[in-house]
Amino acid sequence: MGTRRLVIQLQLLCSLVLVSVSASTSASFSVSLEHQPIPMAPVNYVAASRLRRLAVEFFDCYENITLADISMEMNQDPRALPSAQDLECLADLMLLTENLGSAKIWALRMIDSWGSLPSGVLYGNLRDLGNYDECLKVDHAVSTSHSVRGKYCFAKVSLASSISSLLSMKAAVCFPASCSAAHMDTMLRRLFEKLLNVEISSDLQLVDESTCRTAERKPYDGLTIFTIVVLSVLCALMVLSTLYDYLFIEDQKQFSPLVKAFSARANSRVLFRIVDTKSSPNIIDCLHGMRCLSFIWVVYGHDYLVAAMGPNLNLIQAFTWTKSAYSMLIQYGVYSVDTFFFLSGLLLVVIALRTMERTKGKLNIPMMYLHRYLRLTPVLAMAILIYMKILPISGDGPLYGSVTFDNYTICEQTWYWSLLYVQNYATDTICLGHSWYLAVDMQLYIISPLLLIALYKWGKKGAAAISVLMLLLAAGLFITMVIGKHSM
């Protein structure tokens, strides 16, 4: 026993973040919105600090592990029958503890990959990611039909029930893949109650299966294969068209429209054009600068938001930062989107009125709608496929898919609302969160003919009526904000 404890202590510097969350101790954790440390009762902090060596404590506690230790049901009712997963998890844990005693490298790596109580918890460092790759690469062959593989999960406890869920401590744990999140939750709960001498609420879930990862990957389904094939065909067309353009096209007037559409060389000429004396009268070149600056602002703001959702060592400083002048550039970056609505509306009015002048006030409204729908929807549909089937398999890591605004599984239930451009009203879980803009823009486009016809037929009177309508809409927005007590 002493030898194994010494081996583990020498091999590992790993542990888990967790503190008491019972009613008697939750008040000891609070967050000041000023640039101040997080206050904590000294006694509770000392107790929580024992978890810095949780890996050692865990396997000391469960040296002789039983079914009752991993199954809450069997602990409550000894007559309950264990499931096949319970038995497999128990067998793998017993093998793990046995191999730790003999200092087998695969067992040491599994525990070495655990996270720890982060340094600087009182200053806002609330995550320890452990070693993701080390955990998932554990693959110890027991027999020809069974191996003990690593399963990486996050253990999480909120600092206080009254604080945002963002202010919770997380740390990595690594168990045999045969164990479920419920097994891990049961074992960790009992250990924390023993170490901290508190009772943890049964409503608090310490380990969630959605945070768990294993090295096993699902085989590609038919839709994923279809998406890969389509993207491969498009990529091949681009390469072939570009080579054809570069090797055989000397006169751009002889360029086939189909080849030109896929040629990277031809499209680069348009994208990076400085001056074009034969520019279309419907193109206002100076608007490109507004579009570019607004686009940079949007991307810059989103980059900050994604970083804020990731692991930060000094989260407590965020509250002070939000009061700085510089932070206003980020916090109010949402208004940059108004520029795109303005540009879209301006170009629509210019092009439509010029068309109406040529056709003596006639506007082919059904063709307008059809043209816009066909111009946007194929690209949006491909983006949904890529988002739903390609992005989940294109990356990996402990935080992949969680430190963004996106949940890749949402599209499986709500993709059709996006293709109908009503997702901002039809659902609270939008597939491609940023596609809300396309929905609003399409809806404004649908009602635009009414305003365009009024503006063309009645001129200044029509413009005055539209101005009054804008004031009424602004008043309605203001009243909504006052009644609902919404912030600016």
Domain ranges for the chain: 2-214, 218-273, 274-484
Examine the pLDDT at 32 and tell me if it is beyond 50. Answer: no
Examine the pLDDT at 136 and tell me if it is beyond 90. Answer: yes
Examine the pLDDT at 381 and tell me if it is beyond 90. Answer: yes
Sorting pLDDT into bands at 50, 70 and 90, what band is 167? low
Q: Which residue has the higher pLDDT, 171 or 160?
A: 171
**What is the dihedral angle through the alpha carbons of 300, 163, 211, 189, rounded to the nearest 10 degrees?**
160
- Average pLDDT for the chain: 81
> Which pLDDT score is estimated for 42?
44
Distance CA(277)–CA(383), nearest Å, equals 34
99's tokens: 């191999």
pLDDT tens-digit readout, 68-105: 788 777 666 666 778 889 899 999 999 998 898 888 99
User: Is residue 20 classed exposed, middle or buried when 0-12, 13-18 and 19+ CB atoms within 10 A define those classes?
Assistant: buried
Q: Which residue has the higher pLDDT, 381 or 17?
A: 381
Q: Which residue has the higher pLDDT, 168 or 216?
A: 216
Q: Across 119-123, 192-196, 479-483, which has the greatest mean pLDDT?
A: 479-483
> Which pLDDT score is estimated for 78?
67
Ranking 23-27, 119-123, 442-446 by mean pLDDT, the lowest is 23-27
Sorting pLDDT into bands at 50, 70 and 90, what band is 31? very low
Across 144-169, average pLDDT: 72
Distance CA(464)–CA(132), nearest Å, equals 63
Across 390-399, average pLDDT: 88
- The one-letter amino acid at 359: T
Across 52-81, average pLDDT: 72
- Residues of the chain by 3-state class (helix, strand, coil), percent to 5: 60, 5, 35
Q: Which residue has the higher pLDDT, 45 or 451?
A: 451
Distance CA(153)–CA(132), nearest Å, equals 9
pLDDT tens-digit readout, 289-306: 888 899 999 988 888 888
Distance CA(67)–CA(86), nearest Å, equals 7
Examine the pLDDT at 307 and tell me if it is beyond 90. Answer: no
- The whole-model pTM stands at 0.77
Sorting pLDDT into bands at 50, 70 and 90, what band is 281? low
> Which pLDDT score is estimated for 308?
79
Ranking 82-96, 160-174, 319-333, 398-412 by mean pLDDT, the lowest is 160-174
245's tokens: 């353009």
Q: Across 74-83, 375-384, 397-406, which has the greatest mean pLDDT?
A: 375-384
> Which pLDDT score is estimated for 74?
66
Examine the pLDDT at 264 and tell me if it is beyond 60. Answer: yes
The residue with tokens 């043209």 is 371
User: Is residue 452 classed exposed, middle or buried when 0-12, 13-18 and 19+ CB atoms within 10 A define those classes?
Assistant: buried
> Which pLDDT score is estimated for 9?
37
Examine the pLDDT at 13 and tell me if it is beyond 60. Answer: no
3-state secondary structure at position 475: helix
Sorting pLDDT into bands at 50, 70 and 90, what band is 48? low
> Which pLDDT score is estimated for 158?
58
Ranking 14-28, 126-140, 372-386 by mean pLDDT, the lowest is 14-28
> Which pLDDT score is estimated for 277?
53
Q: Which residue has the higher pLDDT, 12 or 75?
A: 75
Distance CA(25)–CA(240), nearest Å, equals 67
> Which pLDDT score is estimated for 17?
28
Q: Which residue has the higher pLDDT, 251 or 421?
A: 421
Examine the pLDDT at 22 and tell me if it is beyond 90. Answer: no
> Which pLDDT score is estimated for 30?
31
Examine the pLDDT at 28 and tell me if it is beyond 50. Answer: no
